[in-house]
Structure 1
Amino acid sequence: MGHDILGYNKAGEAIAYARFSMGNSNATILYDLLDSIDYHAGVSGTGAVTTFSKQQIEKALHAYKQQYGNDVPSSPKGDSLDLKQIQDFLSNCLEEAQKEKSVTVFFG
């Protein structure tokens, strides 16, 4: 069990990935940033798929930077690694959404 959150382009290729163990409360950070708490099922995601516009991903990344700063965390501690994977996930989704106008996200 755990949270496997994947971003896909329109061709169905995975372009972003974030993984949290079932007991890792930092998973809710990504759900909150994406305004997707309804897809959080406790020990994992609900298995739902949804599409986010470029503007929604920009908003999520902006909120991340407001709360956690612009620098990618470098500490090897768990929270820093979680924050780095959240930032990487959002950045990869935004890069793709800038090309395709949207990304699809699976909350598993």
Structure 2
Amino acid sequence: MGHDISGYNKAGEEIAYARFSMGNYNATILYNLLDANKYYAGVSGSGDSSTFSIQQIEKALSASKQFYKNSDSLSESDFLTWDQKQIQNFIQNCLATAKIEGRVEVYFG
């Protein structure tokens, strides 16, 4: 069990991926940033997907920058740094696709 969150372009190709173990609370950070808490099912995602607009992904990116700016004291943890990087990469890859295609599909498994 765990959280496997994937971003897809219109062609159905995976363009972003983030993985969190079932006990990794940092998964909730990505759910929160995407305003997608309804897809959080405890030890994994709900198995559902949602379409996000450019604006929604830009909002998530902005919120992530603010969140991690305010969490500087926590960033000494290698675990947080790893998750911070995968969250940032996930959002940036989704944004790149959304800017080209107007939207991105995210699956919460």
Residues 9 and 96 in structure 1, CA contact (< 8 A), matched pair in contact too: yes
* Identity, % of aligned positions: 65
Unaligned runs of 5+ in 1: none
Unaligned runs of 5+ in 2: 70-74
**Structure 1 residue runs of 4 or more that deviate by more than 3 Å after TM superposition:** none
What does residue 90 of structure 2 align with?
89
Residues 75 and 81 in structure 1, CA contact (< 8 A), matched pair in contact too: no
Distance 1:67 1:77 in 2: 17
Equivalent residues, number = 104
What does residue 102 of structure 1 align with?
103
Q: Which amino acid aligns with 1:84?
A: K
Distance 2:26 2:68 in 1: 13
Q: How does 1:1-108 map to 2 (within 5 A)?
A: 1-69=1-69, 77-108=78-109
CA RMSD in angstroms, aligned pairs only:
1.3
Distance 1:88 1:41 in 2: 23
Deviation per CA, 1:44-101, whole angstroms, max 9, x where unpaired? 00000110000000000000011114xxxx9781110000000000000000000001
Higher helix proportion (structure 1 or 2): 2
- TM (normalized to structure 2)? 0.92
